[in-house]
Structure 1
């Protein structure tokens, strides 16, 4: 894995709620050892309380809902391309093909295939690089799509893109103004739409 990309992913993961809480607990232990007992107690109490609150489904649902509800589901609009953004996968020959993709990635691909089949003549665009795996995510997703009946000639891959920003740069240029459906997780959609709109504006201004 590219070192800079790995550091970027690690930093992004560390800024999520649970890692931040764990960092808070580690800091609390550090302050205890340095005899800042009061500060250590406050930080540990805050961290444990935050972890408990975030473990409650009503709280997490309320936090996620604004992100998930910003964009509607596909409404049957005609499109030329169906773009499924990359996710997680794990190649293991002893596992069935249905276990190749993570649950999130399989959900994205399933939605993408439904839109693809609703638009005869459209093409399926799959992206995602290999990470620490022996094959790229795009290739893994294509294997599942082909097994589910999509002709290989209808599939285009971007196997070197590492994140959503790179996916936007690659596919906006490839699509070249054609109509497309963007498929990703509901919570990820606002950021994805922002990056794709930004890239479309940039490339139109060139």
Structure 2
């Protein structure tokens, strides 16, 4: 099932779809010289290209996902767990944790530390595995958290999960049904909340790492196609596909 999901993610990708339209146009032109068919394919390509390479659609979809939950301003002192989901890392020797962790992971950790400062009785649970057991994301997050002088007794690691669904399953045996602050990127939060609730957990959303690409003085990026809009389109489509896949597998499992 995971293999099917990853294959779909590769296919439902703006870069791949644009490539397919270009390839199909070239094949049609080569095979039968049918200019009307090529013309139609090229128009579809242009429309798709403009939709995802300008800012309107990626910004709208990103805002829809990130507007679901607000930043936690006043943490509830009764909450005993702050859970930080890893957002990506690299595995390489002789580099510090801040170079190996993705920007998303670092922002998530900082938000988790911010919440922890107002929750003196809470523990910080860092979740994320890796292909190499020497470089699990949870371990790298722990290394970086030491820069903030957090007591080691307050840190719990979950170093085995490789995706959000596995993280939700792993949390079940650690936090049980206790409420916890769930820290992840704002665009990722709806899917993470769905998967945690599906496991019977009690997450409290604590979003971080918001997208600000379209909110500066340079409004030309909304109208002029650029690679950054395509990049953010890919991120939002990944989240939408991941949520759809989670709902589909949930319904399929319940049906059986």
SS in 2 for 1:200: coil
In structure 1, the residue matched to 2:60 is 62
In structure 2, the residue matched to 1:71 is 69
C-alpha distance in structure 2 between counterparts of 1:94 and 1:45, whole Å: 50
In structure 1, the residue matched to 2:29 is 32
Following superposition, the deviation at residue 37 of structure 1 comes to 4.2
TM-score (norm 1): 0.83
Distance 1:60-1:133 versus aligned 2 partners, 3 A rule: farther
Matching of residues 55-134 of structure 1 within 5 Å:
55-78=53-76, 79-131=79-131, 134=134
Contact 1:126–1:142, Cα closer than 8 Å, also in 2: yes
Q: Once the two structures are superposed, what CA deviation does each residue of 1:15-71 show, in whole Å capped at 9, x if it has no partner?
A: 133332333323333333333543333223322332233222343211210110011
In structure 1, the residue matched to 2:50 is 52
Contact 2:75–2:118, Cα closer than 8 Å, also in 1: no
1:11 is aligned to 2:13:
no
Unaligned runs of 5+ in 1: 202-206
Unaligned runs of 5+ in 2: 202-256
C-alpha distance in structure 2 between counterparts of 1:190 and 1:25, whole Å: 34
Following superposition, the deviation at residue 73 of structure 1 comes to 1.3
Q: Once the two structures are superposed, what CA deviation does each residue of 1:134-153 show, in whole Å capped at 9, x if it has no partner?
A: 51111111111123322222
TM-score (norm 2): 0.68
Contact 2:82–2:115, Cα closer than 8 Å, also in 1: yes
In structure 1, the residue matched to 2:227 is none
Following superposition, the deviation at residue 12 of structure 1 comes to 1.7
C-alpha distance in structure 2 between counterparts of 1:71 and 1:64, whole Å: 13
Q: Once the two structures are superposed, what CA deviation does each residue of 1:155-184 show, in whole Å capped at 9, x if it has no partner?
A: 111111121111111103311122200111
**RMSD of aligned Cα (Å):** 2.4
In structure 2, the residue matched to 1:158 is 158
C-alpha distance in structure 2 between counterparts of 1:91 and 1:66, whole Å: 33
